[in-house]
Structure 1
Amino acid sequence: MSDLNTDYIILAGGCFWGMEQLFQKFEGVIDTDVGYTGGQLVNPTYNDVKSGMTNHAEALKLTFDKDRTDLGKLLHFFFKIHDPTTVNRQGNDIGTQYRSAIFVRNEEQKEIASKVISEVEKLDRFNGPVVTNLEDEREFYLAEDFHQDYLLHNPTGYTCHFIRK
């Protein structure tokens, strides 16, 4: 992997299982990891995060090949697979752990994310304004092993994500 031109972004948009499944099929994505970020607790577990008391979000760390895709395309897809107009909610999942957020680690990612959010709002596809947070990247903690590739191993498992037109 060292000879590839790679980058990564951390996204939160509800339950990480469905986001991971859809992004794994996206051209140029070379690795996905689900985990927790944006909260106060060090080394949180799923039980900690699902309590809603840690302020962590269920998140997806996407590593991608910059020669095959770019951050703008990934973020446009992100907005197609979740509802960015609901505060702390995706489908039946409610709480800060299910918020819509882009965790940026530098000014370039912040500028691209802001531009994509503006473009998505102008499309007027949603019933309300985009409420996706731009948050500074924080420590990303890998979720427990059974959460990694969950829907690949459990194809009838729960997801509230789908590709919108």
Structure 2
Amino acid sequence: MIEFTMPSLGADMESGTFVEWLVKPGDAVRRGQVVCVIETQKGAVEVEIWDEGVVERLVARPGDELPVGAVMAVLRGAAEPAGRADKPSPPAAERTPRASRPAKPQGGPPTTPAMPAAGRPRISPAARRRAVELGIDPATLVPSQPGAPLQLADVERA
């Protein structure tokens, strides 16, 4: 079994919030394939896998705050028989659900849209993909943090 863990996406990154899976159990994955989206302090990041195999079990759930190195999924190598990943998910004490994170200050939405000088909105890749899925024009959205690119949560809130 191969453990797919939360990568360190920056020198000062200690944890990240799991946003979504782009694969499901039973899917074959290959090195370099984007398999999930993680939200960091700097924005949403599409994460590639560095192993090849078949997704046996997804451990991380949307909203989970996971430390760097935490197991997010278990893969079965191509030569391994199916059904060997019978280990239960980590206990709840090892997970920090979204609700237990400190609340962000509440305030009115900023009035400045996320438009750089070139006229195209600054938006994370995951947020751009979700906006297309929902048929939302990113130019009409306002980021939750003034001056920051639009994030997945900004698109979901629209």
TM over 0.5: no
Report which structure shows greater RCO (CA 8 Å, sep ≥6): 1
Whose helix fraction is larger, Structure 1's or Structure 2's?
Answer: 1
- Which band: TM-score by shorter chain? under 0.3
TM-score between the two structures when normalised by the length of structure 2: 0.24
TM-score between the two structures when normalised by the length of structure 1: 0.23
